[in-house]
Structure 1
Amino acid sequence: MIFRIWRFGIMAAFLSGLWTTPAQSEPLKGCFVIWEPYTGMRDNEPHGITVDLIKEAAYRAGFDLSLTSLPWKRCLALVQRAEMAFAMDAIDRPGYIHGQHPSALYIQAFWMREGDDYGRFEYIGKLTNKRLGLIQGFQYSTEILNAGFRVIEWLRTEENAAEMLVLDRLDLVYADAVVMQNIISNKGFAVKPLLPVHNVQALYPSFNTSLKSERDRIDNALGSMHEDGTVDAIYRNHTGFDFSKFVELGAQVQAPITTN
């Protein structure tokens, strides 16, 4: 009888192991602002290029990830208070830490109609006779704001700006290359960047300063994803272009690429 009970106990423990996870993943909370196609919501679920990237990185690093869409300033404040582990996607900024491997490149360029030819981009002063479209909610340098453009039109979204451009209500739009490529793919707008691009900044998941271990684990996972082609595949799925293609575009830059 004792043997039967012992044998039943061993068998039950073995069978229960078939349906339980050997090690429970650690929770990791992050936040983001809506910025298609990088981050957004679809069917009430986080969606986008860097959402897919961070999900895969968290899986590889052994984290149980949860993501929340928030206004950007609130997201950053929650990370500083350690109520959120990280914010994405962010440039290097005081009070936060990030790894070595970017989740995105913020490639800022002037965009024009496909049929226009303004030559190569040399400096902003050569463009000030144009009507320029800028996007509400973004911070722009005084180099652009005080350049003396003939008209500066503030638009709600990059898509609004691209439409104004093709309708000949603007001559230039200053916007991110990945965002604009996504709009071109979805809407078929005949626009192109003025090369070389104006500025490039690397974007990262930005962590609370106390979470160096979590930062390192996510960064190592992102590094492996860059190496094995996963990052290229995710970008290709969303935009039709590999991440490496955007790196090549960013290499044609009028100003040095900012990574730190």
Structure 2
Amino acid sequence: MKGLLLSLLLLISAVTTAQPLPVLQWCLDNYPNRHNYPAQGLPYGPTVDLMRELANRSGFELSFSPNTPFARCLKLMQDGQTDLMIRLNYSDERNSYMHLIPYVRSARAEYLYLLEQHKDIRDMAQLSGLTIGVIRGYIYNAELPNLLIKNSKNVVEIDTEDAAMTMLLYQRVDAVIAPMQTTEHVINSNPKFKNAIKIASLEFPFQHNMYVHIGLSRKSRHVALLPQLQAAINSMEQDGLIQHYYQNDAAVEPVEDKPADQPAAVVKMLKEGSD
């Protein structure tokens, strides 16, 4: 009888002291081939697998926001109304309202797009006299503005990749510098672009690659989990999981030597926005 009573007391004690896992919301949109967000059902894709593993190793439960535009997610992070974002380039402004944890390094993230009939461009000097479109809000490599100042006639900001490809198609600009993955999706999804636009051979002579980050809102109720998130990313790198999740993503490379200092913010024109 005493043994049964002791067992019951131990069971009650375990139930009352057990704490539920904290729930952190990941704010995300539909990013084809990385985190697909169907009209019905939960997000899926390699980035989703990465975030689930991160949650498991960090000791929290992952929840998903509704399909939310990227800029809106940034605002929610700033206000502390959501907890996590992924695949973020660094800017001083973002760093002011979220902790940025590097986990992959950009490879050839930005490409130069031309009309199919345009002569190929292999060297920065060939940009001389051209009007170059860039995507408003996208955070480019910090070295790009100086390269453009030295080599091109005019730089035009364009709201979206779709609008940029349209302006290129109708020769409102001579070339467009744009993020590879989202632009490739735009081109492949639109027949009028698919056979009319190509990628130039030019590789920008950047001295340093940018890093891609996971963001944790500084106003999150669970901001104390930052050390666990950092430790989990490190352990996932050591186990080869970061490389596994990004093995088919040409835009990024696994982080080997993380930057000791974050890069300075780029000039205002290329400073803040998506990616």
Q: TM-score range by the shorter chain?
A: 0.5 to 0.7
Output the CA distance in 1 between the equivalents of 2:166 and 2:183.
Answer: 11
Give 1:66 shift: 1.0
Aligned-partner SS, 2:97? coil
Give 1:247 shift: 7.6
Give 1:174 shift: 0.7
Give 1:163 shift: 8.0
**Corresponding residue of 1:65:** 62
**Corresponding residue of 2:135:** 135
Describe how 1:48-127 pairs up with structure 2 within 5 A: 48-68=45-65, 69-90=67-88, 91-92=90-91, 93-99=95-101, 101-103=102-104, 105=106, 107-112=109-114, 116-121=119-124, 126-127=126-127
Give 1:134 shift: 3.3
Output the CA distance in 2 between the equivalents of 1:234 and 1:46.
Answer: 15
Give 1:64 shift: 0.8
TM-score relative to the length of structure 2: 0.59
Seq. identity, %: 22
**Corresponding residue of 2:26:** 30
Amino acid at match of 2:129: N
**Corresponding residue of 2:199:** 191
Give 1:146 shift: 11
Give 1:147 shift: 7.5
Amino acid at match of 1:233: H
Alignment CA distance shift 1:197-1:28 (3 Å): farther
**Corresponding residue of 1:16:** none
**Corresponding residue of 1:232:** 243
Output the CA distance in 2 between the equivalents of 1:182 and 1:97.
Answer: 29
Question: Residues 110-152 of structure 1, C-alpha deviation per residue, up to 9 Å, x if partnerless?
Answer: 3446884423336xxx514335343355467876599764684
Output the CA distance in 2 between the equivalents of 1:155 and 1:79.
Answer: 22
Give 1:58 shift: 1.4
Give 1:25 shift: 3.3
Unaligned runs of 5+ in 1: 14-21, 249-255
**Corresponding residue of 1:41:** 37
Give 1:59 shift: 2.0
Alignment CA distance shift 1:230-1:121 (3 Å): farther
Alignment CA distance shift 1:190-1:142 (3 Å): closer
